[in-house]
Each structure stands twice: as structure tokens, then as C-alpha cells.
Structure 1
Amino acid sequence: MKNILLEFAEEVSKERLESVQRTRQKWVEEGDQLLKWREKLCLSRAFVARETGVDYGRLTRLEHGEPVKEAKLISQVYKLTLEKIETHRALDRLLESIGIRK
């Protein structure tokens, strides 16, 4: 009986470790996507921190895939901010192309 309990505990522990590793990998991938998107837009982390109201250090940890309190919320605010900037730039290009803005 003791061996069965030990085997069960080891299996649960192994599954938990695998789950933590998958989650960590997901954080790293999502952070990398945000970092690349920000860099593609030629934005500094300090600018994004000001625009989102999120602490610079928290954004750094998020981009590096490190644990961040309220990561889902911060990630969504980050994404919406980058989308807003992309949309404004696209609108400016469109208006310039039809001669409304210079």
C-alpha cells in the first residue's frame, strides 16, 4: 500500500512539474511576442509603460516570461496599446495617401 501511495505521489508531482514547465514556456513565448511587436513599432519600453500605466519593471518581467502579478490583465492592456498605435499609424498613412494630412 505504501508503494502505491508513493507511486501516486510521484506521478502527481511529475504531472505538476510538467504543467509548470508548459505554463512557463507559454509565458516566455507570449512575452517574446510582445517584445518583438513593440520593437517592430520602434517603441521603447518606457513609452509603453507610460502609455499603459504599468510599471517599467513589470513590463520587463512580462516580456522576459517571468511571473507577473495580474499578467493576463497587463498583457491585454499592453496588446491594446500596441494595437491602438498601429491603428493610428495606419490611419495617418491612409490620410496622407489621399492628401488629407501631410
Structure 2
Amino acid sequence: MSRTNKVYSTEFKVKVVRAYLNGEGSYRTLANQYGIRSSTQLKQWVKIFQEAGSTETFERISAGAKGVKNHLKGKRIHFKSVEEESDYFSSLSLN
């Protein structure tokens, strides 16, 4: 039987991280209290939050790079020369 990953909202993550930083409990206690499967997950959020330095940066990091188009995803392009490859990538940066 497989388990699916649970997705937590950024607001939820901030709430739990702040609870930890305010001394409201240990990683394990807060994970149990808020229904997080692993205290290690909470520990990771706290580490990212502390490295981010602000709630806004943490929210941006937690959201990931959604909406950023990867021009190379799913494409296999073969170039005849280095110059042709260079021209192709130069044209992408202009768009």
C-alpha cells in the first residue's frame, strides 16, 4: 500500500514554524499537534525559514518556481554546429 504526499499550504507552514520558534513545543510535539506526518518535515521548514530571513522569502521559496517556463523540458534538439546551438540559446534569452 503506497502513501501519497500531503501538501501543506504556505500559511500552515508559517503558522507551525512560528509556533516552534516561539517555544510552543518540540518538533515532535508540534508535528503531532498539527497532524504533520514527520517531525523531520517540520525541522526542514524551520531550517528554510531561518535561512530565508523573512516570511515573504520563505513563502516564495515554499511556493517553488511555479509558473516559470522551462524551454528545454521535453525537447530533444540536435544542432549541426556550436554556432547554431549558440544562436538558438541566444534567441531564447531575448524572448
TM-score by length of 2: 0.25
More helix by share: 1
- Larger RCO: Structure 1 or Structure 2 (Cα < 8 Å, ≥ 6 residues apart)? 1
